[in-house]
Amino acid sequence: MVFSTKSLCVAAAFTTFLASGSASLAQSQADQLKVAYQAGRNQLGVMTYCSDKGYVGGEVVEIQKKMLGLIPVPADKSGGDEAEAQGKKGVISAMGMTQDIEALAKMQNGTPAAFCKQIGDALKQAGAALPK
């Protein structure tokens, strides 16, 4: 499972759409916000891991923080700290699934450095479109 900034942006757009919907969607809206928030926090941790290993520059961490700021913070933030902590250990986690970056890279006949660079490049590209 690979997270991309595109999927994070889609999640943010989807949660914004839900926020404008009817009150009958309140529970699913809360669930969607929580999922998007946890995924964003995990990706922040992953980018921190990649930066700490020297695979990407620190600017990608700052871009991810800015992108995370686009996701409305859910009322229930539980799991956010844990998701970010897992990312800092090199573990991608979302929707109940986890995958170690090193194992994922091996499965794709790559390296953790190449995986981090790919995600970092996608973040830089998405970050260029963000408001200054």
Q: How far is CA 88 from the centre of its chain?
A: 12
pLDDT attached to residue 72 = 84
Backbone angles phi, psi at 100, to 5 degrees: -70, 135
DSSP string, 100-128: EHHHHHHHTT--HHHHHHHHHHHHHHHHH
The DSSP 8-state label assigned to residue 70 in this structure reads T
Backbone angles phi, psi at 123, to 5 degrees: -65, -40
- Look at 5 and 49; give whichever has higher pLDDT: 49
For the stretch 99-121, what's the b/e string if a residue is b when 16 or more beta carbons lie within 10 angstroms of its beta carbon?
bebeebbeeeeeebeebbbbbbe
Hey, is 130 helix, strand or coil? coil
41: how many CB neighbours lie within 10 A of its CB?
24
Does residue 86 register a pLDDT over 50? yes
Q: How confident is the model at residue 78 (pLDDT cuts 50, 70, 90)?
A: confident
User: What's the pLDDT tens digit per position in 16-33?
Assistant: 433 444 344 455 877 888
4-16: average pLDDT: 39
* Maximum average pLDDT range among 20-24, 47-51, 106-110, 121-125: 47-51
Residues 6+ apart with CB under 8 A from 28: 18
- Output the pTM of the full model: 0.76
- Identify which of 60, 61, 71, 66 has the alpha carbon closest to the alpha carbon of residue 11: 71
Rounded percentage of the chain residues whose pLDDT exceeds 90: 51
